[in-house]
Amino acid sequence: MTNTQTPPARAARPEAAPAPTRKRPPARDRGSRLLATLFLAPTIVGIVVFTVVPIVGSVVLSLFHWNVIDSPGYAGLSNYGEVFGDSTVLVSFRNTLVFMVFAVALQLLIALALALTINGRMPVWLRSVFRSAFFFPLVLSAASISVVMKYLFNQDFGVVNWLLGFVGIAPVPWLTSENAAMATVVLVYVWQQFGFSFLLFIGGLNNIPKEIHEAAALDGATGLRKHLTVTLPLLSPTLLVASVVGIINALQVFEQPYVLTNGGPGDSTRTVVMVIYETAFEQLRFGEASAVGVLLFALIMAVTALQFRLSRRFVHYQ
Amino acid sequence: MSQATLSSGRVRYRLAPWARIAGLAVCALLTLGPVVWTVSTSLRTPAEAFDLPPQLVPSNPSTEAYRGVFDQIDVWLLALNSTLVTGLIAVGQMITAGLAGYAFARLEFRFKKPLFGLVLATMMVPLQVTIVPVFLVLKSMSLTDTLLGLIIPAFPTAFGTFLMRQYFLGMPKDLGEAAMLDGAGPWRTFRSVYAPLAAPGLAIVGVLAFNYHWNEFFRPLILETSGQNYTLPLGLVSLQGNLGTGSISVVLAGVVLSMLPAVAVFVVGQRPLREGITSAGVNR
């Protein structure tokens, strides 16, 4: 069907080309505009009502004291002052940044190593088995995975400590000590998320023309050197996307610490989003919660902008 | 191409394949291990759930834990809620993204560039930053603690719109021009030429939406306050709360039940899911 339709259309092109000034029928043009309006309305209205207005709303709300019950009172910047004076909020920002650094670094490293390894020679079926295995945790819910992990990382009867016992390692208080809890949250998060970067890398590697590797092999590059000097620069656009998406996602972490530790012990795993949730929906302090939200947004914007700026030096487009 | 160079390159690699495959196998085991453990523990009796070493194949498999889940929470209601919410959002996103993506790719109208810029920019806005005002908007529409309150805000999808725009841009323009020459208006051109070709792209949007919203926890946690409006992930976490550490196998049976549709989508929709994720990295 496509074959019979395409040739006449191709033939028609040269005739139309010399007369670009010829007016299109106005009715059709109007039809196209009307159609565009109808087609875009649901998306644009939805985005305005549920994203654009709420962003402005967050900024406005952060300037008010409001608990939904009493009428809102103008507070100026005092919510921000309160937020900066609140040690829990400050700790949550520090926790979130620490989480982000380790989670993203680990996730990218594992994903990159696996993507490069799986790209070597092996039977097709085996490659697809591995690929599916690494990608599988992505389809599961972070909340239910965290429920499962809570048992696996239990200090007394968890399978992880039982396994470590074989190597002679004493039971680790994975979720109950301030030092280990954040590491556990990172592990659980990375376990579920590395498949995302892995898939991005697989796509990126497939996009690298074979000839480049063959040329590099002819020049004598092999093994690790080939990866460092040839593959990585060519993969750098994908690395940028993976790290930008990874960072934006990591800064929003919620389910894992909420289910695994509920922010504890102490505040050691309390993240910014947990603080937003608690401040707004448990303590009904909507103004303060909005101020924290605005700060998180600013942080995400700043980190992303910084990344794009840095990437200008390291990212190579073919 | 010099045969010698290539084969010498191969010789250096000769020892590697086994180590490589073994390494990958260990990683795959670590990735799937927790899932296998979950399924096998859910099939043990609550009394044997704590057994170490964990038996991979339960010595006396029992569905007692699953009966426990049905006793503790109204699984059918939760599943119905989850299905309604997820299904309607998936269909809704396929419609809105398909239409908007087509408009951005193939129609002419004013403010096209700034509007598309707006859509792209909202991809950057995290849900958690806007949740308080969204909650208040929904409250003013009396939609808090309703399933509709979960569904309606999720209809517009910036990423889906972007994906569909790319998809339509990838189709030959000649097709539409030919239809136009044959006298088809913009609607006919869309309806009978482009829309049918968009099915695989729409499948990607639908599968991505299903997977994301089936597992969604944050919005339901905030919006749904009465148990009858809970979705599966919420019900599960409350199941865990009910039982404390009393019976792992019941909790894990609940986890397995809630995973089943996600696994089904993984099996059936693996390709669209993968393509949706991969294209996030390649198209931008």
Can you give the pTM of this predicted structure? 0.86
Q: Please state which of the ranges A19-33, B71-85, B146-160 shows the lowest mean pLDDT.
A: A19-33
Q: Which of A57, A207, A223 sits opposite B282 (nearest CB)?
A: A207
User: Tell me: the pLDDT tens digits for A153-212?
Assistant: 988 888 898 888 888 888 889 998 988 999 999 999 999 999 999 999 998 888 887 777
**Cβ neighbours, 10 Å, residue B117:** 11
pLDDT surpasses 80 at A259? yes
Q: What pLDDT shows up at residue B182?
A: 86
- DSSP 8-state class, residue A38: H
Give B9's pLDDT tier (boundaries 50, 70, 90). Answer: very low
Contact between B198 and B215 (Cβ < 8 Å): no
Q: What pLDDT shows up at residue B178?
A: 87
Q: Provide the chain B residues 198-257 that lie in CB contact (below 8 A) with chain A.
A: 211, 214-218, 221-222, 233-234, 236-237, 240, 248, 251-252, 255
Cβ contacts of B2 on chain A, cutoff 8 Å: 218
Both structure tokens of A26:
């106005």
**Greater pLDDT, A276 or A15:** A276
% of chain B residues with pLDDT over 90? 39
CA angle B190, B196, A13 (to 5 degrees): 55
Give A13's pLDDT tier (boundaries 50, 70, 90). Answer: very low
Give A235's pLDDT tier (boundaries 50, 70, 90). Answer: confident
Number of Cβ pairs closer than 8 Å across A and B? 312
Beta bridge partners of A74: A64
Q: Provide the chain B residues 84-143 that lie in CB contact (below 8 A) with chain A.
A: 95-97, 99-100, 102-104, 107-110, 115, 118-119, 122, 124-137
Q: What pLDDT shows up at residue A19?
A: 46
- Contact at CB, A162 and B233, closer than 8 angstroms: no
Q: What pLDDT shows up at residue A11?
A: 41
Phi, psi of A103 (to 5 degrees): -60, -45
Closest residue, chain B, to A8 (C-alpha): B178
Q: What pLDDT shows up at residue A28?
A: 57
Q: Which of A58, A64, A144 is the best substitution to test chain B (most B C-beta atoms within 10 A)?
A: A144
- 3-state DSSP call for residue A292? helix
- Contact at CB, A141 and B214, closer than 8 angstroms: yes
**Greater pLDDT, B228 or A271:** A271
User: Tell me: the pLDDT tens digits for A111-163?
Assistant: 999 998 888 778 889 998 999 999 999 999 998 899 999 989 988 888 898 88
Q: Which of B12, B132, B258 sits opposite A293 (nearest CB)?
A: B132
Q: How many whole angstroms separate alpha carbon B216 and alpha carbon B212? A: 6
**Greater pLDDT, B201 or A120:** B201
- Contact at CB, B28 and A36, closer than 8 angstroms: no
Q: What pLDDT shows up at residue B41?
A: 87
Report CA dihedral (A133, A134, A140, A141) to the nearest 10 degrees.
160
A243-265 burial, b if ≥16 CB within 10 A, otherwise e?
bbbbbbbbbbbbbbbbbbbebeb
Q: Tell me, yes or no, if A145 comes closer than 8 A to chain B by beta carbon.
A: yes
Contact between A234 and A216 (Cβ < 8 Å): no
Cβ contacts of B234 on chain A, cutoff 8 Å: 143
Q: Which of A112, A139, A271 is the best substitution to test chain B (most B C-beta atoms within 10 A)?
A: A139
Q: What pLDDT shows up at residue A29?
A: 67
Sequence-ordered list of residues with C-beta below 8 angstroms from that of A248, at least 6 positions apart, any chain = A300, A304, B124, B126
- Contact at CB, B280 and A245, closer than 8 angstroms: yes
Q: What pLDDT shows up at residue B173?
A: 87
Q: What pLDDT shows up at residue A113?
A: 92
A134: distance to nearest CA of chain B, Å?
6
**Greater pLDDT, A224 or B274:** B274
- Contact at CB, B136 and A286, closer than 8 angstroms: yes
pLDDT surpasses 80 at B49? no
- Averaged confidence pLDDT in chain A: 85
User: Tell me: the pLDDT tens digits for A236-252?
Assistant: 888 988 999 899 999 99
A275: distance to nearest CA of chain B, Å?
11
pLDDT surpasses 80 at A69? no
**Greater pLDDT, A33 or B81:** B81
Q: How far from chain centre, in Å, is Cα A75?
A: 34
Amino acid at A72: P
B251: distance to nearest CA of chain A, Å?
8
- Averaged confidence pLDDT in chain B: 84
Q: Tell me, yes or no, if B267 comes closer than 8 A to chain A by beta carbon.
A: no
Q: What pLDDT shows up at residue A53?
A: 93
